[in-house]
Amino acid sequence: MDDLEYLLRGGRVSPLAAFIGGILNIKPILDVENGKLVPVEKVRGRKKVFLRIIEIMRERGFQLGNQTIGISHGDDLEAAEQFANMIREAFGTKEIIITMIGSSVGAHSGPGTLAIFFLNQELI
């Protein structure tokens, strides 16, 4: 079962979107706003998703080199470590914490999911 199948079962995407997304290797980028998942965009291929998330971090992030960045993964430590290295290279971030995604989120998002946590504004 791919990641879109889990999103389909959780009611996050339609059956048609899951089918087409699976064929075209489309990966959704989601954000959490007011406790709800909000689609940001869809990207073809995992490497392009990683590069696009780096761009989003660059657009939204605040002093990313000085932050502690969090990465949670759905049973894909290798991808989490690869993405952590990309973050270090892009922003000079020294502290990155990698953990597993919780079972509730994992049940809806599936294996291979990555969640990235960073501050997007200065705290006052």
User: In terms of pLDDT, which residue wins out, 19 or 86?
Assistant: 86
Tokens of 70: 């969090």
* pLDDT at 25 (0 to 100): 75
* Percentage of the chain modeled with pLDDT above 70: 75
How far CA 63 is from CA of 28, 36, 38, 82, 123, in Å, comes to 26, 26, 24, 21, 11
Q: Residue 6: pLDDT above 70?
A: no
User: In terms of pLDDT, which residue wins out, 66 or 33?
Assistant: 66
Position 70 confidence tier, pLDDT thresholds 50, 70, 90: very high
* Contact by Cβ (8 Å): 66, 101: no
Please name each of the domains of the chain with its CATH number. Answer: 3-117 (3.30.1180.10)
Distance CA 89, CA 53 (A): 14
Q: Residue 36: pLDDT above 70?
A: yes
